[in-house]
Amino acid sequence: MYLGIDVGSVSTNFAVIDKDRKVIDSLYIYTAGDPVLAVKRGLRTIQQRLENSAEIERVGTTGSARYLIGILVNADIVKNEIIAHAIGTLNFIPDVKTVIEIGGQDSKIIIIRDGIPIDFSMNTVCAAGTGSFLDHQAKRLGIPIEEFGKYALRARTKVNIAGRCTVFAESDMVHKQQLGFSKEDIINGLCEAIVRNYLNNVGKGKEILPPVTFQGGVAANKGVAKALQKELGLEIIVPEYYNVMGAIGAAILAMEETEQTKVKTNFDFNVADIGFRTRSFECDGCPNHCEIIEVLRAGEVVDRFGSRCGKWEKQDTREKLIKV
């Protein structure tokens, strides 16, 4: 079997597939500010679920912490989330042309034609309209995040909410509450604002053609999915594994790597019990004074990065990981 790990700022996702690309198991957990601990917890859970009956042939990592976690688990391949999401989606919807992904802290759009990703755009500057912002508003309104989208579907009056900035959006929501609008109407207005913000920024200038898929944690919000469908005038497909699609893509890419090399993977579930930490120091070799990040596993330095000249890089480690 093949394991994919997608590590983001809000969630850490796992997917195990077999040689036929069928998903055997998947897991979605919160990163909670500690990607290393989240991966260790996730690996223990996956191992227990598989009951040690499956041999992991290859491992792939993706997401914002892909390099760090790739070193931790001795990944066979490391890929960026654009490629991972595209490959994962194509596995279920071969004719997909547009992938809309809204995660915990960022959002992206991937344009695919004839099964090949040809363009993309990402928003990593502002959290407006992402999962973390929705979580915050759900807590403020005293509504479980799982029910947030259902409230939007019960709206009766159109409410305009500013969606370009989290601060302005929250202020606008408070103002509308003070004017007596219902929670349902305000939440629906927020969902519509999120979609407008996404299309005016991430989707600006992109040719959005069907089939269109909507994935990432925010895809669980039916209010946002409905607003997206209304704004685009197109059917929006929310795949079964919408929240772990990047991990599935990483697993598929790891499997394809097997076809190119017969070297046995160094991955072991016991990595969850190995001590792992990061430290840094400042290089005084030149006026740049680069901050050098060292990654240690079981007390041994396994990677360094941060130097502009490459003086401190551990090339032997980097060359083992195929990166895009």
DSSP per residue, 187-233: HHHHHHHHHHHHHHHTTTT----SSEEEESGGGG-HHHHHHHHHHHT
Domain covering 2-90+246-273, topology: Nucleotidyltransferase; domain 5 (3.30.420)
Mean residue pLDDT of the chain comes to 86
**Domain locations in the chain as residue ranges:** 2-90+246-273, 94-238, 276-314
- Would you say the CATH fold of 94-238 matches that of 2-90+246-273? yes
Give the closest residue to 251 by CA, choosing from 50, 59, 47, 41: 59
- With pLDDT > 90 as the criterion, what percentage of the chain qualifies? 42
Own/partner long-range contacts of 41-44 (Cβ < 8 Å, ≥24 apart): 41/272, 42/5, 42/12, 42/14, 43/14, 43/73, 43/269, 43/271, 43/272, 44/269, 44/272
List, for residues 207-226, the tens digit of each pLDDT value.
999 999 999 989 999 999 99
CATH class of the region 94-238: alpha beta
pTM over 0.95: no
Give the model confidence (pLDDT) of 89-117 as tens digits.
Answer: 999 999 999 999 998 778 899 999 999 99
Return the sign of the alpha-carbon dihedral for residues 22, 25, 30, 32. Answer: negative
Residues 122-176 have pLDDT tens digits of 886 666 667 777 888 888 888 888 888 889 999 888 888 876 677 777 888 888 8
The pLDDT of residue 126 is 65
pLDDT tens-digit map of 229-270: 999 999 999 999 999 999 999 999 999 987 666 677 888 888
The one-letter amino acid code at 240 reads E
Pairing between β-strand 77-78 and β-strand 58-62 as defined by DSSP bridges: parallel
Distance from first CA to last CA of the chain, Å, rounded? 23
Distance CA 24, CA 277 (A): 31
